Amino acid sequence: MLFHVEMTVNLPADMPEARAAEIKATEKAYSQKLQNEGTWRHLWRVAGSYSNVSIFDVEDNETLHHIISGLPLFPYMEIRVRPLCRHPSSVRDDDS
């Protein structure tokens, strides 16, 4: 199942820079593992904001929830999830 997920990061202004850098590094490793495994198919920065648009390919809703709630930045994110299905006009046979 494919999901479009938009994440907006809101780190507290008083978070020490070293702590922010540590969480971002952990987040990067977490996301790169999932990208390499094919679960986190796309990761795009939304130009001009501390947000990303991502496409996840997961077994079910529970798996997506487990992944998202495990993000190191999860406590500092606003997250919007939208389930996707094939568009009848899509020419990409390999994208289900």
Ligand X SMILES: O=C(O)CC1=CCC(=O)O1
Write out the residues near ligand X by the rule CB under 6 A.
Answer: 7, 9, 27-28, 31, 43, 52, 73
CA distances from 96 to 34, 36, 58, 77 (A): 18, 19, 11, 28
Q: Report, in Å, the least distance between residue 58 CB and ligand X.
A: 15
Q: Which lies closer to ligand X via its Cβ, residue 26 or residue 96?
A: 26
Q: Which lies closer to ligand X via its Cβ, residue 1 or residue 43?
A: 43
Q: Report, in Å, the least distance between residue 94 CB and ligand X.
A: 24
Whether the CB-CB separation of 71 and 30 falls below 8 Å is answered with: yes
Q: Which lies closer to ligand X via its Cβ, residue 26 or residue 61?
A: 26
Q: Report, in Å, the least distance between residue 62 CB and ligand X.
A: 20
Beta-strand ranges (E) seen in 1-96 are 2-9, 40-45, 51-57, 77-84
